[in-house]
Amino acid sequence: MNSGFVIVHAGAGLYSERREHLAKDACAKACMQAKLELCRTSDSIAAAIAAVKVLEDSPVCNAGTGSNLTVNGEVECEAGLMESHTGMAASVGACRNYKYPSEICSRILSKRKLPKSHGRIPPLMIVSHGVSEFLKEEGIPTNTNEELRTDGSRKQYEKWKQLVEDDGRIPSSQDTVGAICIDPAGEFCVCCSSGGILLKSSGRIGSSAIPGHGFWLERELNEMGASTFATCMTGTGEHISNTNFAIRCSNVMLHTEDEIQDLERLIRDFWDHPMSKYIPNLSLGFIFAKMETMPESKRPRLTFGFANSSPSMAIGYMKTTSKKPHVLITRNQNKPHTISVVSTRL
């Protein structure tokens, strides 16, 4: 391989002109940070975490600092990651006192790779007060919950809490952020992070913390070579989990002969699922990347893209050989969904 690759998203939500500029800027910075990490370390895990941390810091994103607040007015964020070398995943949920839940996932993953005494198995997921204990064990300085709240998240909370109390209107802010990175050795890492649904119940664990639901990565080996696929989701977490969407997407896209047709079918099935009638403001968005290596070719084939059935979605992507990322905001308007697929060589 001659280069690495990164694709990121800042969520499938509603973007005004001001928010569009901020979201595109966040995606561009996340791509550039991942590129720098790939060029410096050739490590897809480090690159994916670097990209997502940029998005967790952005005031326009529902992740890390500025996350949506719970019904009690507090931050409880979550994240998950998975890497191709071992096929391991790690996740964190109901994180109340650290602004980079994605980084905690990286630490959990590292612990999973170390042998434990007496046959104890290190956890894949840590939640709630267990996160605080883990941070203390790792010697990581924590944040107060107040530090994770912003003026914007407080205003959103107060506005929607009053609307819900007045007329039962349902809040629509439920973005998640994510990144997929491929290093020069062809190893993948997918990482996502989310503040969850606005006014969610305390203790709620969303799809971003559950492998196979909000994120997934899979590699298949055969006589023709190897195929690796990764994806991460944004949208209505409960429905994404109920449909096991990430793993379903992987099962289809690893063997597809028509990406557009199969992506349309996946989105249609998501909306036609019996549970969908119980969920207001249903939305879905995702990014994906698939790499195919064959013995006769020195340069693997990369197919990547995004799809969303929400009003809009912020995306950025680039190769490490590129000078700057390509960033965009999809606008569905009168269309049921947007799908984009690109094929290239790495």
Q: How confident is the model at residue 299 (pLDDT cuts 50, 70, 90)?
A: confident
**Among 75-79, 85-89, 213-217, 336-340, which stretch is predicted with the lowest mean pLDDT?**
336-340
Please provide the size of the chain in residues: 346
What is the number of alpha carbons within 13 Å of residue 18 lying toward its C-beta? 2
pLDDT at 168: 64
Distance CA 289, CA 227 (A): 10
Instruction: Decide if pLDDT at 341 tops 80.
Output: yes
The three state secondary structure string of 162-226 is HHHHHHCCCCCCCCEEEEEEECCCCCEEEEEEECCCCCCCCCCCCHHHCECCCEEEEEEEECCEE
Question: Is 176 one of the catalytic residues?
Answer: yes
Q: Quick check: 199 pLDDT over 70?
A: yes
Task: Give pLDDT, residue 173.
Answer: 55
Chain-centre distance of CA 6, in angstroms?
13
Q: Which two tokens stand for residue 213?
A: 């639901």
Cα separation of 208 and 49, whole Å?
Answer: 14
Tokens (6 digits) for 208: 């971003």
| Residue 229 Cα distances to 122, 301, 326, angstroms | 26, 12, 21
Of 42-46, 125-129, 181-185, 297-301, give the lowest mean pLDDT range.
297-301
* pTM summary value: 0.95
302 Cβ contact list (under 8 Å, min separation 6): 5, 182, 289, 290, 291, 343, 344, 345, 346
Better-predicted residue by pLDDT, 1 or 119 = 119
Structural domain harbouring 176:
5-345
Distance CA 227, CA 254 (A): 7
Q: What is the distance in angstroms between the CA of the first residue and the CA of the last residue of the chain?
A: 6
Q: How many CB atoms lie within 10 A of CB 5?
A: 29
* Tens-digit pLDDT profile for residues 207-216: 999 999 999 9
Q: Which of 176, 231, 236, 320 is catalytic?
A: 176
Backbone angles phi, psi at 271, to 5 degrees: -75, -30
**Between helices 259-272 and 245-253, what is the axis angle to 10°?**
150
Average pLDDT over residues 213-241: 93
Closest of 178, 202, 197 to residue 188, by C-alpha: 178
Q: Report the CATH number that the domain containing residue 147 is assigned in CATH.
A: 3.60.20.30
Residue 26 has pLDDT above 90, yes or no: yes
Q: Which two tokens stand for residue 15?
A: 């973007």
Structure tokens at 11: 């969520």
The pLDDT confidence band at residue 161, using thresholds 50, 70 and 90, is confident
Q: Measured in whole angstroms, how far is the alpha carbon of residue 56 from the centre of its chain? A: 11
Q: List pLDDT tens digits, range 276-298.
A: 989 887 889 999 999 998 877 77
Are 31 and 323 contacting, i.e. CB atoms less than 8 angstroms apart? Answer: no
The residues, ordered by sequence, that sit 6+ positions from 103 with a Cβ below 8 Å of its Cβ are 49, 53
- Please name every residue paired with 292 in a beta bridge, in sequence order, or none if there are none: 227, 301
pLDDT at position 346: 78
Give the chain's radius of gyration (CA, Å): 19
Please give the DSSP secondary-structure letter assigned to residue 255.
Answer: S
Q: How many domains in the chain?
A: 1
Sheet holding 225-235, edge to edge: 215-222, 225-235, 284-293, 301-308, 338-345
Arithmetic mean of pLDDT over the chain: 92
